[in-house]
Amino acid sequence: MNAPATFNTLGHGVSMREAFSVWARIALLSFGGPAGQIALMHRVLVEEKRWLSESRFLHALNYCMLLPGPEAQQLATYVGWLMHGTRGGVMAGGLFILPGVAAIMALSIVYALLGKVGFVAAAFFGLKAAVLAIVVQAVFRVGKRALKNRVMQGIAAAAFVAIFFFDVSFPLIVFAAGVIGYFGGKAKLSEFAGGGHGGAKTSDSDSLLGNELPGHAKSSIASTLKVAAIWLVLWLAPVAALLMSFGPANVFSQIAVFFSKMAMVTFGGAYAVLAYVAQQAVDNFHWLQSREMLDGLGMAETTPGPLIMVLQFVGFLAAYRQSGVLPPIVAGTLGGLLATWVTFTPCFLWIFLGAPFVERLRGNKALAGALAAITAAVVGVILNLAVWFAIHTLFSEVVALHGFGLSVEAPVLRSVDPWALLLTIGAALAIFRFDMGILRTLALCSAAGVMLYLLGASPASASASWAATVEEATQAPSDETLGEMRECGTAHTD
């Protein structure tokens, strides 16, 4: 257990200018989803710069895993706040998403304008196969860090069974895991003590922050209310303005309200949020087709920043297809930026509001146990999404199975897409056998999809998916599509 923390002014010697260069470097290199991004921050912040210790880094990470939204961006915000207060948190969290905002916007415009072009469809078909292999890799990478013993492995397995086979909501799984971990930690069971990340074991005394709490971590009722008021206004004022100006039926009002709700109820990062967004965006709003979510996630995988930037793509398509008096590209751009604003602004609220209290509880074994158990449950959710991706990438037909409490999709084996299967095997070999890295794997799979198209072996599933995108963009989804999305593992209802 750590010694009681003391307060101190900023004495670590890291200037805002130096911190800006470090966060900019992390932002530009933050490929590979949350597992890769967290590993990058650990290497830079703990091992290279020694800004904070191993235990402090993991304590912050476990808190961020508990929150709705992208844990990697929230972790950057948390560490930026620890180092330089609110200014440092805004700088770190803002820089972390800036490259992705620009890149996803550019790719969304290309997607909207060139969706009918065969080689573009084939390129995205290849990306889907690579994304499947990358999500499987994420299961292994996060699991290796979080599942250090049989108890944590059991929690992850139980979470997967509950969410995949019985359609249990993710918040309920988080709550159950947190309760188990809380009492396990309170009982001082070693299985709930948490584990390390990577090989570094930097102690508090070796880090620039040490064991002390910076002066800005002091909190009072007045300061807490002030933080809440400022960030709630920044978040909800645009939502209220749109509702009052255009009414709830307007697409921009719908985007603002929908993604604001999502920011409060979706946990586990982009890998866990996909099904919730897909169900609502397809079933309720008819903004896009189910398979377009994989295309959007493929975009997010190829760009720096959080994978949850895929939500900007959803907001772009929603406004692009219901542009009203605005030019479609202008409407899409505004819709994408609005979705980004209401998705990420709450992330700063959660950190600035909760971090001062979480820092005081670094030695609390019950809280540490709860956070460790929740992290283990998230591994089960990511595994659920990997299986869902596999079913919907490799097979064109699925059968919904219900009964005895079960609610699960089973693939029709004869509907397997051989090209998708071959590309996925190739992507898995590239990542696991030859350690080629995410970017090279994505590029090779995308190029392979284009090559199949040029050779006249264009995958039928790719062209069919894009034809549905173009022809049915403004139509209600089919019953088959609705059935697909209703069975997604982490779907929630409002």
Q: What string of pLDDT tens digits covers the 494 residues of the chain?
A: 444 444 444 566 788 999 999 999 999 878 656 766 887 888 888 888 888 887 788 788 878 877 888 888 999 999 999 999 999 999 999 999 999 999 899 989 988 887 655 666 677 778 777 877 877 877 787 787 778 889 999 999 999 999 888 878 777 888 899 899 999 988 888 888 754 444 445 445 566 776 667 777 777 888 899 999 999 999 999 999 999 999 999 999 999 999 998 888 766 556 666 666 777 787 778 898 767 777 787 777 777 888 888 899 999 999 999 988 999 999 999 999 999 999 999 999 999 999 988 887 776 788 778 878 887 887 887 788 778 778 877 887 878 787 777 777 788 888 888 888 898 899 889 988 888 877 788 888 888 888 888 887 655 444 444 344 434 443 444 444 444 444 444 333 33
b (16+ CB within 10 A) / e for 353-389: bbbbebbeebebbbbbbbbbbbbbbbbbbbbbbbbbb
H-assigned helices in 247-280: 251-265, 270-278
* 167: helix, strand or coil: coil
Model pLDDT, residue 385: 73
Model pLDDT, residue 342: 96
User: What is the spatial distance between Cα 48 and Cα 303, in angstroms, rounded to a whole number?
Assistant: 24
Model pLDDT, residue 453: 81
Taking alpha carbons only, the member of 341, 370, 389, 323 closest to residue 189 is 370
User: What is the spatial distance between Cα 263 and Cα 422, in angstroms, rounded to a whole number?
Assistant: 37
Model pLDDT, residue 459: 52
Model pLDDT, residue 277: 78
Alpha carbon distance, N-terminus to C-terminus of the chain: 41
Model pLDDT, residue 119: 67
Q: Is the pTM of this model over 0.75?
A: no
For the purposes of burial, counting CB atoms within 10 Å of the CB of 442, is it exposed (0-12), middle (13-18) or buried (19 or more)?
A: buried
Torsion sign (Cα): 28, 34, 35, 40: positive
Query: Within 13 Å, how many C-alpha atoms sit on residue 120's CB side?
Result: 16
User: What is the spatial distance between Cα 74 and Cα 51, in angstroms, rounded to a whole number?
Assistant: 17
User: What is the spatial distance between Cα 423 and Cα 70, in angstroms, rounded to a whole number?
Assistant: 29
Taking alpha carbons only, the member of 376, 367, 349 closest to residue 78 is 349
Model pLDDT, residue 494: 36
Q: Is-contact 438 39, C-beta < 8 A?
A: no
